[in-house]
């Protein structure tokens, strides 16, 4: 995580929106709830390599937005085994399968993922998102 923190700092990464907390719902699921956040808090933010939760932000960088999801169920080997390969500007890149993305994006539930989940489900059904 130290290398990720260094990379975020190198591109000027700062949270794009408010900070918040995960709250547990009565059914046991967790949901992100935003809290009022000042610009000073956002400007003072820095990723903490010792605290994975500190990386759980959509970041604005000088190279564009970066959405980090630092805690996922399962491990890299599990995701890599089911990855699909896409060509990005002529380079083959392994990416998580749609099924794995959906599993990771629906529990815990994040409001910012609602539209993304709907789009992925459309793609999974062979429809245009």
pTM score, two decimals? 0.61
Q: What range defines the domain where residue 63 resides?
A: 1-71
Alpha carbon distance 28, 83 (integer Å): 29
**Same structural domain, 43 and 105:** no
**Same structural domain, 67 and 106:** no
**Same structural domain, 32 and 47:** yes
Closest CA to 59 of 71, 76, 42: 42
Query: For residue range 54-110, what is the model confidence (pLDDT) as tens digits?
Result: 888 889 999 999 887 766 666 778 888 999 999 988 999 998 888 888 887 766 666
Alpha carbon distance 80, 95 (integer Å): 8
Alpha carbon distance 79, 28 (integer Å): 25
Q: Are 85 and 98 in contact (CB under 8 A)?
A: no
For 95, the token pair is 């990416």
Q: Which residues of 72-84 are buried (b: 16+ CB within 10 A; e: fewer)?
A: eeeeeeebeeeee
Q: Which of 23, 38, 71 is the last residue of a domain?
A: 71
Query: For residue range 107-127, what is the model confidence (pLDDT) as tens digits?
Result: 666 667 778 888 888 888 888
**Same structural domain, 6 and 43:** yes
Tally the domains of the chain: 2
**Same structural domain, 1 and 63:** yes
């Amino acid at each position: 995580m130290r290398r990720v923190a260094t990379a975020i700092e190198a591109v000027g990464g700062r949270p794009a929106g408010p900070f918040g907390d995960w709250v547990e719902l009565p059914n046991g699921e967790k949901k992100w709830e935003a809290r009022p956040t000042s610009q000073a808090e956002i400007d003072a933010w820095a990723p903490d390599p010792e605290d994975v939760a500190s990386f759980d932000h959509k970041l604005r960088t000088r190279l564009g937005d970066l959405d980090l999801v630092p805690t996922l169920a399962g491990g890299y080997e599990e995701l890599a085994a089911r990855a699909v390969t896409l060509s990005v500007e002529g380079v083959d890149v392994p990416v998580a399968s749609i099924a794995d993305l959906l599993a990771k994006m629906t529990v815990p539930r994040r409001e910012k993922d609602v539209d993304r989940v709907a789009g992925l489900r459309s793609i999974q059904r062979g429809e245009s998102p």
